[in-house]
Structure 1
């Protein structure tokens, strides 16, 4: 029997007709979701979001460290660590959700070895804060189509960084769409390291819409996650092409959930 992964709605892009994020949480709950996620928090009604979460019993599966700062540029390291500290404090009333970290852009003239060493040093500082607070950091590889100069655009490199940091509070966020854009195969890049992955996000190729609208082999994706032993949730980080009830139905059918 296929694994019954719970689905998390990305309310940054979904249930927009409901209003602000607090109202989207209520709409997501009414639409059958117990899990939601969104992006940056500083421009959002955090207090109202907390009230909506408490009212509905919905859980946040991810929110971004804000502001975004580089993990590879030593000139931004202090700001990056401070952003993690402030995000931990600000989101504690939201249930201490996992906090998503992107790498920032490559530094011109810097060697690959120094990029890696700087990333490990910054992530070790951030992970120490996460350990003290009981929070998980999710390192997310992106892609060069959207961000041509981004440092972390490889799942393998992301997992190498997680391993090098060696903290139980730093894990990988594996985004199927970013990975597909980069031409990766899920079975190759996650083999033997699924224990380092704490969250998976899905969207179809090419236009980042719901599964079932594009060219991703979802049988292969979901079969790989199950065979490797993934135990987490699936984040629906896509732009819906259908009303959300129909979009959810298509997603569940396509992912066999």
Structure 2
């Protein structure tokens, strides 16, 4: 295992002892990290975060399109695309981070073909907005353990959607924990399509804590990413079970970074 990937702290869940998100950014920088990410933005101090980013030189890798809207329900398509527009406008001062899109829930009575076609149409419209703004969208498959009715819970399906849309501004967010929850074989589902993946997130099984606290083979995970020539960052989207300095030390040990 020779690759060392840049690490991005999920300050939504990490460095919480420091206070608000701006303070957590500063703590992440003090811990030797240059990247961070969080979830929804409307309840966050965007101006204070922008100031902290400027002061520290930190960069945001991603945040979520807010509000979340369905990509498979045609009744929500216009709202979904508008949410992308508003998120781009509101977070431009944060350095134009990548924006995470989840699928929303299945629509009762809708066929698989209709779900797929509606998702492609919504994502294509959103990708057009993202292309114009110079922003990357990240489509994220989740899992049925957390969301039993979620449409997109398959890495392969997510990659199929990205391919079908065909935009350079739409890529997949591959979350090792979500994928493991679904029993996927990482090497198999990503084989030949790692170029469609722009961000990877990690947490250990079963309880979504830091790498090294569960059952996943992190040497194998990292070797798989290296073998596939993944060239992005790794998002630490886990709940720390240890004090943050110890949690980060264990994570770095397990990821070789």
Instruction: Report the Cα offset of residue 255 of structure 1.
Output: 1.4
Alignment of 1:43-82 (within 5 A): 43-82=43-82
What residue is the counterpart of 2:106 in the other structure?
Answer: 106
User: Segments of 4+ in structure 1 off by > 6 A?
Assistant: none
What residue is the counterpart of 1:18 in the other structure?
Answer: 18
What residue is the counterpart of 1:170 in the other structure?
Answer: 170
TM-score w.r.t. the length of structure 1 is 0.99
Q: Distance in 2 between matches of 1:184 and 1:218?
A: 15
TM-score w.r.t. the length of structure 2 is 0.99
Instruction: Report the Cα offset of residue 219 of structure 1.
Output: 1.5
1:80-108, Cα deviation, whole Å (9 max, x unpaired): 00000000000100000000000000000
Q: Distance in 1 between matches of 2:83 and 2:235?
A: 24
Q: Distance in 1 between matches of 2:169 and 2:142?
A: 20
What residue is the counterpart of 2:191 in the other structure?
Answer: 191
1:143-176, Cα deviation, whole Å (9 max, x unpaired): 0000000000000000000000000000000000
Is residue 2:27 matched to residue 1:27?
yes
Q: Distance in 2 between matches of 1:2 and 1:197?
A: 20
Is residue 2:235 matched to residue 1:235?
yes
Gaps of 5+ in 1: none
Instruction: Report the Cα offset of residue 48 of structure 1.
Output: 0.5
Q: Distance in 2 between matches of 1:151 and 1:31?
A: 37
What residue is the counterpart of 1:149 in the other structure?
Answer: 149
Instruction: Report the Cα offset of residue 2 of structure 1.
Output: 1.0
Instruction: Report the Cα offset of residue 204 of structure 1.
Output: 0.1
Q: Distance in 2 between matches of 1:32 and 1:203?
A: 20
What residue is the counterpart of 2:38 in the other structure?
Answer: 38
Instruction: Report the Cα offset of residue 225 of structure 1.
Output: 0.3
Gaps of 5+ in 2: none
Q: Distance in 2 between matches of 1:173 and 1:12?
A: 17
What residue is the counterpart of 2:137 in the other structure?
Answer: 137
1:17-49, Cα deviation, whole Å (9 max, x unpaired): 111111111111111110000000000000111
Instruction: Report the Cα offset of residue 189 of structure 1.
Output: 0.3
Instruction: Report the Cα offset of residue 245 of structure 1.
Output: 1.2
What residue is the counterpart of 2:244 in the other structure?
Answer: 244
Residues 54-63 or 247-256, more deviating? 247-256
Instruction: Report the Cα offset of residue 233 of structure 1.
Output: 0.3
Secondary structure of the residue aligned to 1:61 is strand
What residue is the counterpart of 2:222 in the other structure?
Answer: 222
Aligned length: 257
